[in-house]
Chains A and B, each alone.
Chain A
Amino acid sequence: MANNNPLAETTFVQSGDTRRSAKISRETISAIAVAVLCVVLLLGARFVSPSLGSWSQVETVLILGSFLVVLSFGQGLVILSGGLDLSLPAMITLGGILATNWIGSSDPGAWYLLPIVLLVCAGVGFLTALGIVILRVPPFIMSLAMSIIVSSALLGYTKGTPRGAAPEMAIALMKGSVFGLPAPILFTIGFVILGWLIQSRSIFGRYLYAIGTNVEAARIAGVPVFTAQVLPYVLSATCAGLVGIMLVGYSNGATLRMGDDYLLPSIAAVVIGGSSILGGRGTFLGTVGGALLLTTLGTIISAIGLEFGLRTIIEGAIVLTALLLLREELFQKLGSLWK
């Protein structure tokens, strides 16, 4: 899918239309701004506690943030295509519980079951997408309904107590190290590159921008609308299943509520990263920045010795400020001042 791009890009630039390149650069600026904010926060954290701002804190942020990065890639695709996926917590739990139940720690040879777990998640995501695209159920209702169905089925399946332990593959992914670097960090870097290629450099990615902006216009322009609407949900569910497996490797077991804390952060990371909640705009690199910003903020905030309530107020205020500062109107104004 990704191979045809350079060609597509050249033709586009040759047409003399510079609007798209201007837009891309604006989105790049917002991605860079989020990344800069992360670094500033990390360095500023030394004032909160002298141990912060060290490499070990960066490691903590990257490992804790890896879940959100993977998750918000899927959420970002769905939002880009003009939808919203509220089934992520249930899909995380599904991935985690299937990984511990089907594989467990007993049989290291059963690694081939991991892709099957992801396939099951993808299948559920496909059902969600069918409801949205064919039955025309609004995305949030359909994904919410699927979320309730899946989590209730898991409650019944596990009888309330998920059994089994983390598969060795999952533990190696989250706890191992390659060339002295923690494996989850390398994995996240690889995932980010792949995600960026899919969203910004593949035809499929372009289709998503097109249908997210205007479905009818995209249809007339010859975009395969059905595929482009279904695939984001499938990928989103697969990513959530993968996060479930990663969480199982990280905390060595599954619980029925393991995904609950991730729904709103997954949406927030996408929006902070400069994407439009209405679809059609945004980059994955911005989303990665948003995810890391939220995680960095979390680690620093928890080090401040204030009441819990005050800490969450500060956290909310910083997120809000970041969002306002990163609005594109601001960049436009700055840009016009520059000229």
Chain B
Amino acid sequence: MKLNTVKSIALALALGSTALAGIQPAAAQDKEKFKIYLSLSYSGNAWQSEAANIVKALAATPPYNETVELIEVISGTDPQAQISAYESMIDEGADGIVSFPISSTALNRTIRRGCEEGVLFFMYDATVTENCAYNVSYLTAGFGENTAQALVNELDGKGKIFLSRGVPGNSVDKRHTDGAMHIFNQYPGIEVVSEYYSYWDDRTTQQETAKALAAHPDVDGIWAQAGEYGAVQALLDAGDRLVPMTGENSAGFRLALANPDMQEKGLSGVSAGSPPAQSGYAFKLMMEILTGKRELEPMNIEYPLPWVPAASVQVCEGDVYENGCNVFPADRVPSSFVSEVLNPVLLPEVNVESALNGTPVAGATIQPLPAEVVEAANEPGINCSRCEASETLYELTKIEPTVQP
């Protein structure tokens, strides 16, 4: 047997088959109900599954439990799989599609076709440049520049830093890093000594940070995208010294920011970044349009950037964010739990169990959203294709510089 040929085929297969097969539901046509599809990327990380769970919980909350038929389809990380998923949703007579788009451009033609058939497209977190879709995203709210300025302030404008980035070639990672570099480049005292890709994953962040620490044990600060709790652990592994750092919304990172022991070791910074609650906001907006409660032309809607400095972290005692608390304790959620999955103003219907299991809260009913929506600024390649970037790109919104370049 030509075993070596067989083995190279095996390797090729192994490389190409990380995506899980999509599920094709064969639900009976029900004219009474709105047919809503939830189209996901890979659902194997905390962020993706929390975002999906929130939509499932909302769709099971009265009155939507009677009026909405929600069908979930997972497309892995392959845009082609999501294109064919959209195609079948359109053909099966979807009223609306709530989706985490895998590519900002590859889906455009299919979306266009869906729009012409009257399907509403609501994208959350990631965006598409097709202008007949609604983008609901925090991307234009300036995560990169604001967190970079926060780190510069903590470091008094000088020091060696690491950049823990996301996925190479990804438009979201690029937008965040461009914003951050726009700030760091203004400060000659700030030196980026190591830059690595952590794939928005705690464990990868920990290993990559450990490698960077071997070369630069004297680092002064870390600017991190999601996975930031891994950087805290890598610092603790290497010694008893923590440094100022900025990261996203993991429960582990927020609890560490508020922990006096960690603060004593040198940890300070801010928790900001991508909120899974965007999915719930997108779903509720879409349902308000479908049920005739709101009129809204397709547009880019900005979700506010979560912004929790160390001093503002408060641990919750109940199941929801109330009285200003913004993180659940370690015995309630895993450290990778993304804290910004609830929003007391936009999503008062759901609680921490909804985020973990997709279950509705007993007795809750759908509450109307605030009438006003915030229009997002244009960003070429992010939310529009042939357009000019707005003049306020990279303008700081959450923090003032306390040191001058």
Q: Which residues of A contact B194 (CB under 8 A)?
A: 302-303, 305
Q: Which residues of B contact A302 (CB under 8 A)?
A: 194, 196, 208, 211-212, 215
Residues of chain B from 64 to 123 with CB closer than 8 A to chain A in the complex:
none
**Interface pick from B180-188, B230-238, B379-387, B397-405:** B230-238
Contact flags B355-379 to A (C-beta < 8 A → 1, else 0) = 0111000000000000000000000
Residue from B6, B10, B14, B202 within 8 A of A251 (CB atoms): B202
Residue from A56, A161, A252, A277 within 8 A of B50 (CB atoms): A161
Residue from A60, A161, A261 within 8 A of B214 (CB atoms): A60
A267 shortest CB reach to chain B, Å: 8
Q: Which residues of B contact A52 (CB under 8 A)?
A: 214-215
Residues of chain A from 240 to 286 with CB closer than 8 A to chain B in the complex:
247, 250-253, 255-258, 260-261, 263-264, 267, 277-279
Residues of chain A from 21 to 61 with CB closer than 8 A to chain B in the complex:
48-49, 51-52, 54, 56-57, 60-61
Is A187 an interface residue, CB under 8 A from the partner? Answer: no
A264 to B8, CA, bound (A): 12
Is B43 an interface residue, CB under 8 A from the partner? Answer: yes
Contact A60 B211 (CB under 8 A): yes
**Interface pick from A108-116, A147-155, A202-210:** A147-155
Residue of B nearest to A162 (CB): B334
Contact A86 B10 (CB under 8 A): yes
Q: Which residues of B contact A5 (CB under 8 A)?
A: none
Contact B44 A256 (CB under 8 A): yes
A4 to B196, CA, bound (A): 50
A64 to B204, CA, bound (A): 11
Contact B203 A160 (CB under 8 A): no
Q: Which residues of B contact A300 (CB under 8 A)?
A: 215
A161-B50, A277-B4, A308-B197 given as contacts; is B210 within 8 A of A60 (CB)?
yes
Residues of chain A from 159 to 201 with CB closer than 8 A to chain B in the complex:
159-165, 175
Residue of A nearest to B44 (CB): A256
Residue from A56, A86, A252, A298 within 8 A of B217 (CB atoms): A56
Is B223 an interface residue, CB under 8 A from the partner? Answer: no
A84-B10, A140-B6, A258-B203 given as contacts; is B334 within 8 A of A303 (CB)?
no
Residues of chain B from 41 to 57 with CB closer than 8 A to chain A in the complex:
43-46, 48-50, 52-53
A339 to B39, CA, bound (A): 68
Contact B17 A148 (CB under 8 A): yes
Contact B49 A161 (CB under 8 A): yes
Contact flags B171-206 to A (C-beta < 8 A → 1, else 0) = 000000000000000000000011111000111101
A278 to B196, CA, bound (A): 35
Residue from A256, A267, A299 within 8 A of B211 (CB atoms): A299
Residue of A nearest to B196 (CB): A302
Contact B201 A255 (CB under 8 A): yes
A302 to B211, CA, bound (A): 7
Contact B211 A247 (CB under 8 A): no
Residue from B9, B50, B214, B230 within 8 A of A299 (CB atoms): B214
Q: Which residues of B contact A247 (CB under 8 A)?
A: 203
Q: Which residues of B contact A125 (CB under 8 A)?
A: none
Contact B43 A51 (CB under 8 A): no
Contact B208 A251 (CB under 8 A): no
A180 to B7, CA, bound (A): 44
Measuring CB to CB, which residues of chain B are less than 8 angstroms from any residue of chain A? 3-4, 6-7, 9-11, 13-15, 17-18, 20, 43-46, 48-50, 52-53, 168, 193-197, 201-204, 206-208, 210-218, 230, 233, 237-238, 252, 330, 334-337, 356-358
Q: Can you name 24 A-B pairs with beta carbons within 8 Å?
A: A48-B215, A49-B215, A63-B237, A64-B210, A64-B211, A86-B14, A138-B10, A160-B45, A161-B334, A250-B203, A250-B206, A251-B202, A253-B335, A255-B201, A255-B203, A255-B336, A256-B44, A256-B45, A267-B11, A278-B7, A303-B211, A303-B212, A305-B195, A308-B195
Question: Can you add 4 more A-B contacts, CB < 8 Å, to A159-B358, A162-B334, A256-B44?
Answer: A51-B217, A255-B45, A255-B336, A264-B14
In the A-B complex, list the 3 residue pairs whose CB atoms are closest, starting with the nearest: A160-B49, A140-B10, A303-B215
